[in-house]
Amino acid sequence: MIEEQLNNLKKEYLKTEMPHYLQNYGWQNLESRLAEVKSPQFSFFPKRAFAFAVLSVIILLISTLAISQKSKPGQTLYPVKVLSDQVYSQVTGNYEATIEKRAQEVIDTSGNGESFEEASKEYQKTLDEAKEKAKDENEEKKEELRKKLEQQEKRFENAQKEENQKSKNRLNDILERTRRTRGEVKGSKNERREKDNQRHDDDEKDNNSGNHNEDD
């Protein structure tokens, strides 16, 4: 029974594409973890058996992470998928790929109330994390994030054309959230533009005030 389940897990694992962060960092993390592991000094528990047990657990965890990448909102492994994507974004600083994945899930579940609720919640979390991270980034990175958000806006707009009214309303809410977040991702250019506009408005007020005094 157990052997059959392991074989099924192995087949499913071999069909699953490995996440990018596991490809780039998986072996390094595994190597460092194995180097830190110290086998208990018991005569009845050989070091080789302990190392094999640790390796088996790590492989099982990696397999679970890989399989979870196929899960959808509402499914058992979806929280694992979200967590692994979050770790990837934090390690690499690349939130754009995660935003794109969460946006697609929102579109795919727009016709299902419960699944859409979970998908939209995770999408909003990703937007908030990306916006917060962008505060410490340079103008180039901020511009990349703004462009990625603008791309998602277009995707939501196109998706609305193919959905029913209820799904359109759900997607329109997500579209407005995305636009609002894009407007909140400000760089030095945006800040200078706002200051210039504010200065221009103040000058106009002063001029108008001066004209009124002359008329009096």
The 10s digit of each residue's pLDDT in 130-155 is 999 998 888 998 999 999 999 999 99
Per-residue confidence band for 11, with pLDDT thresholds at 50, 70 and 90: low
Supply the Cα-derived Rg of the chain in whole angstroms.
25
Collect all residues with Cβ–Cβ distance below 8 Å to 122 and sequence separation of at least 6. 73, 82, 102, 105
Alpha helices in the chain (DSSP H): 2-14, 20-36, 47-68, 78-92, 96-108, 113-134, 139-160, 165-184, 188-215
- The CB-side HSE value for 179 (13 A sphere, CA atoms) comes to 11
Q: What are phi and psi of 81, to 5 degrees?
A: -60, -45
Between CA 78 and CA 65 the distance in angstroms is: 10
Q: Do the beta carbons of residue 166 and residue 214 sit within 8 Å?
A: no
More confident residue, 146 or 16: 146
The H or E element spanning position 138 is none
Between CA 173 and CA 201 the distance in angstroms is: 32
More confident residue, 193 or 64: 64
List the chain domain ranges: 1-36+46-70, 81-187
Give the range among 18-27, 151-160, 170-179 with minimum mean pLDDT: 18-27
Residue 5 has pLDDT above 80, yes or no: no
DSSP 8-state secondary structure symbol assigned to residue 101? H
* Percent with pLDDT over 70 in the chain: 56
pLDDT in tens, 44-53: 456 667 666 7
Between CA 66 and CA 13 the distance in angstroms is: 7
Mean pLDDT of the chain: 76
The gap between the terminal CA atoms of the chain, to the nearest Å, is 97
pLDDT for the residue numbered 192: 46
